[in-house]
Structure 1
């Protein structure tokens, strides 16, 4: 009787992470001490943006991607918000355009000079007003230019907001306070993880709920669409507070997961980053010192652990750029 090997043969089984030397790192950045469960970091091929500490308002730092080394404590910042900045996201269609949201109930669109910021930037291209409580999440539409989603603690989701025209918004019940959002590749479906820790699939044009997860053994915190594999992935915790990784099939229904795995007993929220070019998944959490790598496939067992990167320092913010397969933390 033949014995089937449990070893998974993968072309990525020798992948490894390497921390940049001090010369090629960004040193001396006053990273925010905020506890909101967002990445606090966003990167594109030209710039890296990081939310920073700021007295009497909210600000974030924008540096040219190759401006490494020690950062001047007096380096100019984007500081037009009246309260703490909670999220920043680069426009996927314009490398010099970035959106930010804040506890001051506004979303602002900024134009960053190609040479970088030479003085404090206080005037935004556009300020989007309409939320009555702090705005916790923003997300650009992946296929339509100038469409931006915003979600606030007033249970309103402006989905999407056209930054040059009047917005459209939807109001949801209190259990729909969003913790995480992700558009699919076509942009016609929106996956969300909400306050009641369920995963939902919405129609972003109408706000109608199409599917809701019913698995009580998984309380979701973050969710991401898995591109060409046509899957949905969420991270969260079990009823016993073990951190979990769960795969769903949004083409069928969300009544039962395709795959579920308990990872560890740490308390930090896990952020999933999916690389569509290699079908690799990276899991990193705030306060953790490691990043785990997985390979995903459309066939069972769907997900295979590869290796992990370990750092002696905890992560405070996370951002990804897949052009050169780089994860910033």
Structure 2
């Protein structure tokens, strides 16, 4: 193949450079967990950073304000409610104060972090999800539906929960014959892709409980694979060749027979964790035990995956957190930020596009996913899909203060911080409106009017309780119906002599 000399691919991200922050801006004395699980062990959003640490007698992670730097005191309070090591933590995309944690104790817990961080150790979760029979190592919040959380455990089972009701709404127990390595939702949250120890890449519809597509041996090597859905519906995978070379591959979900592109990198044995930014269509590969972060741009033109550059440092990483786009510094043309985990340190690394202008660079910052959910849990369970609701980063993003009390007791534990655009707000009760407009709330109407208002409010509360209970029961019926379908399929296979 011949190339025309002097022809260079045009891209605004060709010169992205990575820069580690100065030592005084790092977090020191953080005893990063030594668990052998190949997870990021860190999660960051515009308010907080959470890091899984070594903890005697159970699992724990401190939650620190994002602006925190310097030494982290050993007496710093932690989230410490698990009975065994924590394997994964993920912030809720629709509430910066809510975080999920998965543990070797077979449970997933949901925590409400107060603004400003923890003042004392937190051991009581708001919700505990119990459905896995072995340790749970993977968490994936739904990108656009409030309260929907997917979990995967070493029991080879996928569970989809409504954390608002605490109900298990879907369970896929026969889709994977072996250990699940990774799970990723597509942009609308209608389907997901998984990688498994059997080397297969699967595309799954969790609501129907069906495997839509399978690609056997997506990577030939025996080491773990990872997969992530891209914004346009393609899938990016990382894995190993038969000769133990690390690979990157791009797949079209319409035809998984051959990858659209494949790149081989090196023979290191660290599992490559892919981090993807749908706004820039850039993928970052960060290997556990590596000293490097590679980054690529994915385009619609061959060869589709373009290597941009490689950040290299002297010390290997134990894991890495990827800051959601709302947290980056738009005034410095920062398009991504990692939090690299060392043995006893957390080091921020900024990915920046070199620009001289001080003005907001709109071409680098298209509207990004905001806190507002596009759907409620019951909408998604009923079959609706929607991409994430977007917000502008012009002028930078300011995290709103927590409204408090977004997590409540059953049956509705997690409610929208703001009204969802798809939800309908009940009109004010006409009796109340009439009383207020005529100035009857206090005064002319006397005690009769006050009693009327009280009675109306009581009726409204009762109606709200009934509606909440109906939603919870509907979710339960859907989950049980799905379970019946799974069992009927298994029974049919047994009767046909397949098992």
Query: Does the 8 Å CA contact 1:149/1:161 hold for their aligned counterparts?
Result: no
- The match for 1:124 is 125
Query: Does the 8 Å CA contact 1:148/1:163 hold for their aligned counterparts?
Result: no
Q: Say whether residues 1:327 and 2:330 are aligned partners.
A: no
SS of structure 1 residue aligned to 2:62: strand
Compute the displacement of 1:216 (Å): 5.7
Q: Measure the CA separation in 2 of the matches of 1:318 and 1:78.
A: 19
- The match for 2:270 is 268
Q: Say whether residues 1:210 and 2:221 are aligned partners.
A: no
Q: Structure 1 residues 253, 123: closer, same or farther in 2, change over 3 A? A: same
For 1:144-293, list aligned pairs within 5 A.
144-168=145-169, 169-172=171-174, 175-215=177-217, 217-219=219-221, 221-227=225-231, 229-250=232-253, 252-293=254-295
Query: Does the 8 Å CA contact 1:214/1:254 hold for their aligned counterparts?
Result: no
Q: Measure the CA separation in 1 of the matches of 2:127 and 2:185.
A: 24
Hey, which of these two has a bigger chunk of strand by percent?
A: 1
Hey, which of these two has a bigger chunk of helix by percent?
A: 2
Residue deviations 1:215-238 (CA, integer Å, cap 9, x gap): 5654561110111x3311000001
Q: Measure the CA separation in 2 of the matches of 1:174 and 1:165.
A: 24
Q: Measure the CA separation in 2 of the matches of 1:3 and 1:55.
A: 59
Q: Measure the CA separation in 2 of the matches of 1:3 and 1:152.
A: 48
Report how many aligned residue pairs link the two structures: 326
Residue deviations 1:134-176 (CA, integer Å, cap 9, x gap): 1111111111101111111222211244442421322126524
- The match for 1:298 is 300
Q: Structure 1 residues 217, 105: closer, same or farther in 2, change over 3 A? A: closer
- The match for 1:23 is 24
Residue deviations 1:190-217 (CA, integer Å, cap 9, x gap): 0101121211100021221000113565
Compute the displacement of 1:96 (Å): 0.3
- The match for 1:101 is 102
SS of structure 2 residue aligned to 1:92: coil
Unaligned runs of 5+ in 2: 329-335, 341-499
Q: Measure the CA separation in 2 of the matches of 1:76 and 1:162.
A: 25
Q: Measure the CA separation in 1 of the matches of 2:191 and 2:19.
A: 35
Q: When the two structures are superposed, what TM-score results if normalisation uses the length of structure 2?
A: 0.63
For 1:14-163, list aligned pairs within 5 A.
14-163=15-164
Residue deviations 1:81-133 (CA, integer Å, cap 9, x gap): 00000100000000000000101111100000101101111010011112111
Q: Measure the CA separation in 1 of the matches of 2:199 and 2:272.
A: 14
Compute the displacement of 1:177 (Å): 2.6
Q: Measure the CA separation in 2 of the matches of 1:277 and 1:120.
A: 37
| Aligned Cα root-mean-square deviation (Å) | 1.6
- The match for 2:494 is none
Q: Structure 1 residues 175, 68: closer, same or farther in 2, change over 3 A? A: same
Higher relative contact order (CA 8 A, sep 6+): 2
Q: Structure 1 residues 139, 217: closer, same or farther in 2, change over 3 A? A: closer
Greater Cα shift, 8-17 or 261-270: 8-17
